[in-house]
Amino acid sequence: MRFTKMHGIGNDYVYVNCLEEKVEDPGRVAKLVSDRHFGIGSDGLILIKPSKNADFEMDMYNADGSRGAMCGNGIRCVAKYVYDYGLTQKTNISIDTKSGVKYLELTIDNGKVSLVKVNMGKPILKASQIPIHSDREQVIRQPIDVEGREYYITGVSMGNPHAVVYMDDIKNLEIERIGPAFEHHPAFPDRINTEFVHVLDRSTVEMRVWERGSGETLACGTGACAVAVASIVNGYTDGEVTVKLLGGDLRVFWDRKEDLVYMTGPAAIVFEGEILL
Ligand SMILES: N[C@@H](CCC[C@H](N)C(=O)O)C(=O)O
């Protein structure tokens, strides 16, 4: 299987051009290629496919082989892939995902994509649609007991489910212990991605993420959007937020009039190769 390894601020995936390659059993392949000792090493696998509804389709899998509906860092890399490899000449493209068609604006420098702005669509705050089990319509700063300690979560879906937790100290967080406890907590019937966030000022936050199916990653695009929305809803920040992640920064803007979230960030190619499956 021919592949390209790419990353969006350190959130790395193996990308396969399925206009040319056929991948049988993508869940199994995702586990195999993601292994950092016995595989290529990545947070998962992303297949770029032809689409009837959009210019291309993105089909994404986490490192444990589970399928994700949407990937914010991945979709910017798909945009870079299709433009840089000449699959399109368009600088405004549409990409179908399991959470609907997304629209992207590409910035080109010296003939290559340097930055991508993605219309991430409407954030979902309704608990039953995230899904989070709750007796409330929305989960805004609601207490939850995780491993005997009380945390306050704000629930947001950006096509995939997120629980946002505010903390004073995220640097010394034992994320390897607490991340899985959130991910598998009975309040989250589809598991959850959890963002641990420290607010720096009214337009800047820093976060770490424990991703459903992949563990701690250096960045999560949908997570950054969920954090921006949660921070605005909780009154911590205003409409435009810089989200600082371990692998770099993303700019997120929530247009409240249109109820649309826009995310802007870079995408990079690391290397190309071929792997025997
Ligand atoms: N890293 C991604 C999100 C990937 C999917 C997620 N782990 C899930 O299963 O919901 C991003 O950049 O958004």
Catalytic residue, candidates 18, 71, 77, 225: 71
pLDDT digits (tens, 9 = 90+) for 78-102: 999 999 999 999 999 999 999 999 9
- Residue 239 confidence (pLDDT) above 90: no
What is the homologous superfamily of the domain 127-258 according to CATH? Diaminopimelate Epimerase; Chain A, domain 1 (3.10.310.10)
Q: Indicate if ligand 1 lies below 6 Å from the C-beta of 220.
A: yes
Beta carbons within 10 angstroms of residue 276's beta carbon = 4
Average pLDDT over residues 20-48: 98
Q: Indicate if ligand 1 lies below 6 Å from the C-beta of 62.
A: yes
The Å distance, Cα 209 to ligand 1 centre, comes to: 10
124-162 as b/e, with b when 16 or more CB fall inside 10 Å?
bbebeebbbebeeebbbebebebeeeebebbbbbbbbbb
Beta carbons within 10 angstroms of residue 84's beta carbon = 17
**Annotated binding residues, as ranges?**
11, 62, 72-73, 160, 193, 211-212, 221-222
220 is catalytic: yes
Q: Where in the chain is the domain with CATH 3.10.310.10?
A: 2-118+265-274, 127-258
- Residue 2 confidence (pLDDT) above 90: yes
Is 0.90 exceeded by the ipTM? yes
Confidence band of 52 (pLDDT split at 50, 70, 90): very high
Fold (CATH) for 2-118+265-274: Diaminopimelate Epimerase; Chain A, domain 1 (3.10.310)
Atom in ligand 1 nearest the alpha carbon of residue 8: 12
Q: Indicate if ligand 1 lies below 6 Å from the C-beta of 213.
A: yes
Beta carbons within 10 angstroms of residue 26's beta carbon = 19
pLDDT digits (tens, 9 = 90+) for 206-237: 999 999 999 999 999 999 999 999 999 999 99
pLDDT digits (tens, 9 = 90+) for 139-198: 999 999 999 999 999 999 999 999 999 999 999 999 999 999 999 999 999 999 999 999
Q: What mean pLDDT, rounded, does the chain reach?
A: 98
- Residue 73 confidence (pLDDT) above 90: yes
**Annotated binding residues for substrate, as ranges?**
11, 62, 72-73, 160, 193, 211-212, 221-222
pLDDT at site 53: 95
Using DSSP, state whether 45 is helix, strand or coil: strand
Q: What's this model's pTM, rounded to 2 decimal places?
A: 0.98
Cα separation, 20 vs 214, in Å, equals 27
